[in-house]
Structure 1
Amino acid sequence: MRTTTLAATLLGAASAVPGLLGGVTGLVGGLTGALQGTLDKIDDQLNDVGVVGAVLLAELGQIKPTATPSSIKEVASIVKKVGGAKPTALLQSAVELVLNGLGPTSLEGVIQQYSAGSNSENNVNTREPAKVIFPSADADDVPYSITEEKLRAAIYIPDTFTYGKKPPVVLVPGTATKGGLCYEPNLAKLLPQEDYADPVWLNIPGWLLEEVPWNAEFVAYAINYISGITSQNVSVIALSQGNLDTQWAFTYWPSTRHVVSDYIAVSPDYHGSVLLNVLCPKLGLLSCPPAVSQQLYNAKFIEAFRRVGGASAYVPTTTVYSATDDVVQPQSGANASAYLQDERGVGVLNVELQKVCPLASPALVGTHESSLWGAPLQALIKDALTHDGPADISRIPDWNAECSKIAADGLNLEDVIGTTFAVPVAFAAMFLYPKRVTTEPALPSYVQ
């Protein structure tokens, strides 16, 4: 039974991309034969999505790019083709991007390769905040379960940071990424050139694949730390799961709400995503990283997140998302996973790009990460950070002109490729991450 299930799982995963991973079939046959008669002695993880991932990554390692994009327009065209709300999108996107020269030639060892330098989790930040923020900054904050040394070391402060001469911005990455990998080719390049934003970013240990509440502790600490060493309020810009982390931080570390002026949420998944079922098709039999299990559509964590108030804004918030997101779905209308309520009356603008940009706009590339290099996001960030409350499209001088740009001013072909590059890396990291669960992790004890 176990052998049959494993083979079926591998073949099912391989069939998701017909014509591209035909070699998986042969590998499955050999793997199944090798397991026959010894399954009782083999760790349960062999009957697992991890094995599927290993096989697929081995196949991807054999795929060589057939082209190198020569223009941003060409990259946009490739990315637009792999976008869309399809169950196989995660796998198809990774394969297509690698084939088209928009990913590393090998996806093996990416966790080690992208864990140093601007992606390091071991940064030395010696400045002390103006007031005590650990073990808590406020009596209502829940206790941290992580040491202050580890929390502080995850904050990467670039050489461009002015320590309060400009308004600080904390950049929070998404699942299976690091801050440098996620933001250096886009926001971390553009924002230091402005007088309204001064970015730092987080490299959360475990690539944001550990439990979401654990990841949120790094966000809560970083907000209070950067505010404390600059004596300024901060803004937060987050991608994907980084938004669950940020809202969770606002919920259980209320001290953070008092020092955040603006929050821009890019491709958030406040309802989770139905597309992640391809990575966790059946918990209990198959496993996946903890944070992925908690982002399944209406997972127990998502239900708790919404029950305790995470689906409504705590600070002025601008959300930006695409109806054709290839990672988070649904992403359209009031039922969009990214749609944030404003029950506390702090001010919210929900921006579904397909509804606010003209139909043929180049900005409507529409994948999970493409907003990071798009001009509309930059315009919204500027408006939000230079006014009280969330962004307001009516204040932007020529919004349609921003929608008409293929990429934001100041970004080149290398930057657009670099932003897209993170997608297959994240895909590989999800499968290579060694800590996996077969059941969704329990909620922290402080959750009522």
Structure 2
Amino acid sequence: MNERRLPIHKLIRSTVVAATTAVALAFAPVTAAFADQGPLYAPVDQPGPALSVPQNLLGASLECSANVSGASRDVVLLIPGTTLTPETNFDGNWFQALDKLNWPYCSVTLPENAMNDIQVSAEYIVNAIRQVNAASGRKVDLLGFSQGGLAPRFALRFWPDTRAMVDDYVALGATNHGSLTVDGMCAAGCAPALQQQRLNSAFTQATNSYQETFAGISYTDIYSHTDQFVTPNLNDSGTTSMHGGGGSITNVALQDVCPLNAADHLATGTYDPVAYALAIDALSHDGPADPDRVPASTCTKLFMPGVDPMTFPGKYVDLWNNVLAQLVAYPHVGTEPALKPYVYAQP
């Protein structure tokens, strides 16, 4: 383990951990405005349920840099994509880049390489937000790749207490409304988490129900026109982009900044310098990213900071092999997991 990344229980007392897993204060009742909007999803202010995953598993999933306790700036929480862990997704790029900036950060390992029910993965993210906020005394900046952009939005949607703990949401190639490509991948069955990332799946419809963003959070959705896995993403009405709600939003393609950029899905979430520049801009300023602040020189770079050009080729081949092996080997199912009862309005 990198000495800068420590189990969270080393950073906060057990009494604080227990307190932060409790459901927050009650919220206002459902309004009549929701009555004619299709399925009776939970109103956006319905308190979230107690977490069903045992606390020892939740705690073990979270690792943080040593400077999280008493942090001088908001803490970045890194959330990996489908088939990935924090190490396969962020070691060799984001971990090293944030170390160089001396920014505090944490990462959360989602169960079974983020291949099973995203509703369960969301509980790990809820716990991570609460614990990091308690340990640092600061708000949390969410930075997720692919499913790592979608899953925290489900957490924010159905555990409203977490919203006040989050400042920035930054997504890299997120499947916010699912993906048409995944529909094809799942035609003969696929992993549960992939079923949930089909275009406009029941899971994504629930995630986006009533409003897609929340006041007090700045949203930056970064995507690529040449993403082969997250489609369609040809403009800001594509699957990654978000619209409506209470947050401030920037939906931006890599090609909006550098027209000749050809990053695919995995590149967007691991080494692309334009994606990095946009994400860092969002995390360095109030509000979401402003593409006009990204230097033109970014377009001439091959890699984001933290990437070692000498070891990159071998590591990238290993990364692709890992992704493909997970997609093939993980048990396939024919339908997505049923939505949990708390997704719906409670009597």
TM-score by structure 2 length?
0.83
Kindly tell me: are residues 415 and 267 of structure 1, through their superposed partners in 2, closer, same or farther at Cα, counting changes over 3 Å?
farther
Please identify which structure carries the higher strand content: 2
Matches of 2:85 and 2:53 in 1, distance apart? Answer: 19
C-alpha deviation, 1:173, in angstroms: 0.3
Matches of 1:213 and 1:238 in 2, distance apart? Answer: 16
Matches of 2:283 and 2:96 in 1, distance apart? Answer: 17
1:72-123, Cα deviation, whole Å (9 max, x unpaired) = xxxxxxxxxxxxxxxxxxxxxxxxxxxxxxxxxxxxxxxxxxxxx57xxx95
How many correspondences in the alignment? 315
Q: Are 1:136 and 2:38 counterparts?
A: no
2:289 equivalent among 384, 391, 398: 391
1:279 equivalent among 185, 201, 219: 185
Matches of 1:221 and 1:338 in 2, distance apart? Answer: 25
Would the aligned equivalents of 2:224 and 2:233 in 1 still touch at CA under 8 Å? yes
Partner of 1:155: 62
C-alpha deviation, 1:178, in angstroms: 0.4
C-alpha deviation, 1:299, in angstroms: 1.8
Q: Are 1:254 and 2:160 counterparts?
A: yes
Would the aligned equivalents of 2:118 and 2:196 in 1 still touch at CA under 8 Å? yes
Would the aligned equivalents of 1:186 and 1:415 in 2 still touch at CA under 8 Å? no
C-alpha deviation, 1:289, in angstroms: 1.3
Kindly tell me: are residues 191 and 162 of structure 1, through their superposed partners in 2, closer, same or farther at Cα, counting changes over 3 Å?
farther
1:344-399, Cα deviation, whole Å (9 max, x unpaired) = 1x211111112221x33xxx132112123122223223322221111112234x2x
Would the aligned equivalents of 1:173 and 1:238 in 2 still touch at CA under 8 Å? yes
Would the aligned equivalents of 2:95 and 2:306 in 1 still touch at CA under 8 Å? no
- Which ranges of structure 2 fall in alignment gaps of 5 or more residues? 27-46
**Is 375-384 or 411-420 further displaced after alignment?**
411-420
Kindly tell me: are residues 255 and 442 of structure 1, through their superposed partners in 2, closer, same or farther at Cα, counting changes over 3 Å?
same
- Which ranges of structure 1 fall in alignment gaps of 5 or more residues? 1-116
Would the aligned equivalents of 2:263 and 2:272 in 1 still touch at CA under 8 Å? no
Would the aligned equivalents of 2:141 and 2:166 in 1 still touch at CA under 8 Å? yes
Partner of 1:186: 93
- Within-5 A mapping of 1:373-412: 373-396=271-294, 398=295, 400-412=296-308
Partner of 1:365: 262
Matches of 2:204 and 2:8 in 1, distance apart? Answer: 34
Matches of 1:141 and 1:230 in 2, distance apart? Answer: 23
C-alpha deviation, 1:205, in angstroms: 1.5
Partner of 1:42: none
TM-score by structure 1 length?
0.66
Kindly tell me: are residues 177 and 414 of structure 1, through their superposed partners in 2, closer, same or farther at Cα, counting changes over 3 Å?
farther
Would the aligned equivalents of 2:146 and 2:175 in 1 still touch at CA under 8 Å? yes
C-alpha deviation, 1:446, in angstroms: 0.8
Would the aligned equivalents of 1:331 and 1:338 in 2 still touch at CA under 8 Å? yes
One-letter amino acid matched to 1:369: L
One-letter amino acid matched to 2:101: E
3-state SS in 2 of match to 1:335: coil
One-letter amino acid matched to 2:298: E
Would the aligned equivalents of 1:160 and 1:192 in 2 still touch at CA under 8 Å? no
C-alpha deviation, 1:329, in angstroms: 0.6
3-state SS in 1 of match to 2:114: coil
Would the aligned equivalents of 2:126 and 2:162 in 1 still touch at CA under 8 Å? yes
C-alpha deviation, 1:213, in angstroms: 1.2
2:197 equivalent among 275, 290, 295: 295
One-letter amino acid matched to 2:147: Q
1:200-228, Cα deviation, whole Å (9 max, x unpaired) = 11111211111111111111110110110
Would the aligned equivalents of 1:185 and 1:419 in 2 still touch at CA under 8 Å? no
Report the RMSD for the aligned CA atoms in angstroms.
2.3
C-alpha deviation, 1:167, in angstroms: 3.0
Would the aligned equivalents of 2:219 and 2:288 in 1 still touch at CA under 8 Å? yes
One-letter amino acid matched to 2:109: N
Would the aligned equivalents of 1:123 and 1:155 in 2 still touch at CA under 8 Å? yes
Matches of 1:313 and 1:324 in 2, distance apart? Answer: 29
One-letter amino acid matched to 1:134: T
3-state SS in 2 of match to 1:334: coil
- Within-5 A mapping of 1:69-80: none
Would the aligned equivalents of 2:81 and 2:146 in 1 still touch at CA under 8 Å? yes
3-state SS in 2 of match to 1:333: coil
| Larger-Rg structure | 1
- Within-5 A mapping of 1:345-364: 346-357=247-258, 359-360=259-260, 364=261
C-alpha deviation, 1:301, in angstroms: 1.6
Partner of 1:84: none
C-alpha deviation, 1:304, in angstroms: 2.3
One-letter amino acid matched to 1:428: A
C-alpha deviation, 1:303, in angstroms: 2.3
Would the aligned equivalents of 2:157 and 2:207 in 1 still touch at CA under 8 Å? no
Would the aligned equivalents of 1:313 and 1:340 in 2 still touch at CA under 8 Å? no
Partner of 2:143: 237
